[in-house]
Amino acid sequence: MVLLYQAMLSLPLYPDSPTERTRWILARRGPKTSHDPRQPYGSFIEDEPGPDGTLWRCHTLLLTNRECAFRCLMCDLWQDTLDTTTESGAIAAQVASLPPNPRPTEEPMGCALKLYNAGSFFDPGQVPTADYQAIADKARHFDRVIVESHTAFLRGKHVERVLAFQDAIAPATLEVAIGLETVHEEALEKLNKRMTVADFRHAAAFLALNQIALRVFLLVRPPFLTEEEGVEWGCRSLDVAHECGATFAALLPTRAGNGALEALAEQGHYTPPKLQSLEACLRYGQSLEGTMRVTADLWDIEPFVKSDDDRACVTRIAELNQNQGRP
Ligand code: SF4
């Protein structure tokens, strides 16, 4: 016990200042994976509840581009990014792999395109503006196009770029996914996200004003919270997403794997959430009035499964994801 205590004392503590935090996070990173800058580093097709309540076909491209400008504590997306500014034409080449007619022929279904770029679609260093037209030529054949963005790229001089992309993909609806993570202000600050809940509200208002749909990513039990706090703040975060007009909220169990969270776990500041906590937040979100869809992310869920009860919980979550809590 004494040895363990001494070992914990010798670990460099998580710093208070943002600059020091960034250094601390970067120092715990492993190597990146090398990718072809003209190929998406992943793609898949799945069905997801759509805005009309039916299941929609979703094509996802994981775009290869320059690393995100931020250094969030829990992020592992940098592992599949490039160190240099994305060259003009590279993203256009990546979307060329999309089918010319993505609509399923076997049954009438809505179809959505997720262009996830491990950062902010509206950061021109990640997705060059010169590529928007080529992207739009593919994207407008979908009903909805979902991209992700930090709030920093949804204000000031950046809004023109957002609106230009929205125009370019018409008649498809633009949806922007923001990683709000948590409305626990202190935990959010420590995540090194460089974003406040007020920033989120401001970005949500901008999107609503321009008829752009809002999707929100939320962490269940981020670092620095207990299991009970993880559930409570997961629910409060869903409340804020709902108040701000989100059409979709995706709950993510906070995962290790980026080096920083493993170090925090050694200091007792991070423990993975229980699946039952994820389910509790999911049920809460689906009980809110209105049409906000809420799902819990089951990607790579095996490390969270420790018992038969957990296995049953995963089955229930998968059903809730599909039917949105309706019988
Ligand atoms: S803003 Fe998103 S992509 Fe960028 S570091 Fe944070 S979590 Fe990762």
Delineate the domains of the chain, giving CATH numbers in brackets.
2-323 (3.20.20.70)
The pLDDT assigned to 74 comes to 97
The pLDDT assigned to 10 comes to 56
Report the alpha-carbon distance of residue 254 to residue 301 in Å, rounded. 11
State whether the beta carbon of 150 lies less than 6 angstroms from ligand 1: yes
Q: Which tens digits make up the pLDDT trace of 72-115?
A: 999 999 999 999 999 999 999 999 989 888 877 777 789 999 99
**How many whole angstroms from 78 Cα to the centroid of ligand 1?**
8
The pLDDT assigned to 92 comes to 97
Mutate to test the pocket of ligand 1, among 75, 76, 215, 297 (most ligand atoms within 8 A of CB): 75
Q: Nearest C-alpha to atom 6 of ligand 1 is from which residue?
A: 72
Does the reported pTM lie above 0.85?
yes
The pLDDT assigned to 6 comes to 46
**How many whole angstroms from 108 Cα to the centroid of ligand 1?**
35
The pLDDT assigned to 268 comes to 94
Q: Angle at CA 256, nearest 5°, toward 325 and 249?
A: 30
Q: Which two tokens stand for residue 256?
A: 């290790």
Q: Nearest C-alpha to atom 2 of ligand 1 is from which residue?
A: 119
> What are the φ and ψ backbone dihedral angles of 116, each rounded to 5 degrees?
-100, 125
State whether the beta carbon of 255 lies less than 6 angstroms from ligand 1: no
State whether the beta carbon of 75 lies less than 6 angstroms from ligand 1: yes
Q: Which atom of ligand 1 is nearest to the CA of 69?
A: 4
Report the alpha-carbon distance of residue 259 to residue 63 in Å, rounded. 23
Q: Angle at CA 322, nearest 5°, toward 52 and 244?
A: 55
Q: Which of 286, 176, 171, 167 is nearest to 238 (CA)?
A: 286
Mutate to test the pocket of ligand 1, among 71, 72, 79, 215 (most ligand atoms within 8 A of CB): 72
Q: Which atom of ligand 1 is nearest to the CA of 179?
A: 2
**How many whole angstroms from 50 Cα to the centroid of ligand 1?**
25
Give the number of other Cβ atoms within 10 Å of residue 26's Cβ: 12
60 pairs with which residues across the strands? 44, 114
State whether the beta carbon of 219 lies less than 6 angstroms from ligand 1: no
State whether the beta carbon of 121 lies less than 6 angstroms from ligand 1: no
State whether the beta carbon of 195 lies less than 6 angstroms from ligand 1: no
The pLDDT assigned to 222 comes to 98
**Strand order through the sheet with 213-220:** 42-49, 55-62, 111-116, 144-148, 173-181, 213-220, 248-253, 293-296
Report the alpha-carbon distance of residue 197 to residue 191 in Å, rounded. 13
**How many whole angstroms from 119 Cα to the centroid of ligand 1?**
5
Report the alpha-carbon distance of residue 181 to residue 256 in Å, rounded. 15
Low-confidence ranges of the chain (pLDDT < 70): 1-11
State whether the beta carbon of 113 lies less than 6 angstroms from ligand 1: no
The pLDDT assigned to 234 comes to 98
